[in-house]
Amino acid sequence: MTLSTKIAFLGIGLMGEPMARRLLQAGYSVTVWNRTQSKAESLLSCDALLANTLIDAVCGADIVISMLAAGPIVEQAITTALPALAPDTLWVDMSSTKQVEAQQFHALLLAHGGGFIDAPVSGGVAGAQAGTLAIMAGGSTAHFARVEAILAVMGRPTLVGPAGSGQVAKLCNQLIVGATLNIVAEALLLAQAAGADPAAVRTAIRGGFAESRILEVHGQRMLERNFVPGGQVKTQLKDMHNILDAAAAAQLSLPVTQLVTQRYETLAASHALADHSAALLALEALNPGQRLGSGPDKLS
């Protein structure tokens, strides 16, 4: 694909806005659409074309990229757009959906003469802004070759298998993220409750076997009590439920994942829109009188 490739980008939210912005800054022609149009207007300064309707956005597009809230919304978008798609249009869904939904989208678009790749991402808003997202793609090698350069503008794309495999990889990622966030919260709160300096403990264990991106980024967030959303609690909870659905379909029991899901269900009741590092808040609620640090909570 060249810079003359026409891209339709559907979903200009926390993640979609910086992702679309990177494509525009790279010189691609991008038509943007969002249900709340005002959220897409910030991209006009980057020469984005603003579509009034989803149909207007996809007409004439070579590539359609969707970054939407959930599988049912992606399905609605594909169903609406299908009659207006040009032959051989390739739809790249970068949302987080269920594996079975991605496989259904693939079959639907294939029957229409087009193509489909599921390419969910990890790295949060910061990764989207920096163009360093981990992009997990499921689809054919031919379809992946068509969009690899486009995806590379937004991060590091890897083809992990046929359609639906990208969502499996994302679920594996979110399983590790969700569990590790809770463990980091427990470790830092334990350090403080036992009389150590939690910030110094975090520094001391970094570089050892406990090192992780979660400890680096979200451990610092917890120390600062900065729960301004990057990856939201409600999104993490949706992913946890999708993980358990995938495990059930594969006839697997994942007991730790079940516990982590319960923690996020509790947290979502009061802090659904906070960053998923707010796992710390659910832990503190279990331990009255224990609170990491002394600063105020930053939630928005």
CA 224, 225, 228, 232 torsion-angle sign: positive
Cβ atoms within 10 Å, residue 260: 26
Structure tokens given for 278: 């707010």
Structure tokens given for 27: 């010189």
Which one of the listed residues 6, 39, 98, 170 is annotated catalytic?
Answer: 170
Rounded Cα distance between 36 and 104, Å, is: 27
CA 270, 241, 66, 28 torsion-angle sign: positive
User: Can you tell me which residue has the tokens 């809230």?
Assistant: 69
* CA gyration radius, the chain: 20
Q: Are 87 and 76 in contact (CB under 8 A)?
A: no
H or E element, residue 32: strand 29-33
H or E element, residue 166: helix 165-193
Rounded Cα distance between 32 and 63, Å, is: 12
Q: Are 89 and 105 in contact (CB under 8 A)?
A: no
Contacts of 195-204 with C-beta under 8 Å, sequence gap 24+, read 198/223, 198/292, 198/293, 199/223
Q: Which is nearest to 66 in space by CA: 22, 12, 28, 26?
A: 12
Chain-centroid distance of CA 122 in Å reads: 5
Residue 238 annotated as catalytic: no
Active site residues: 170
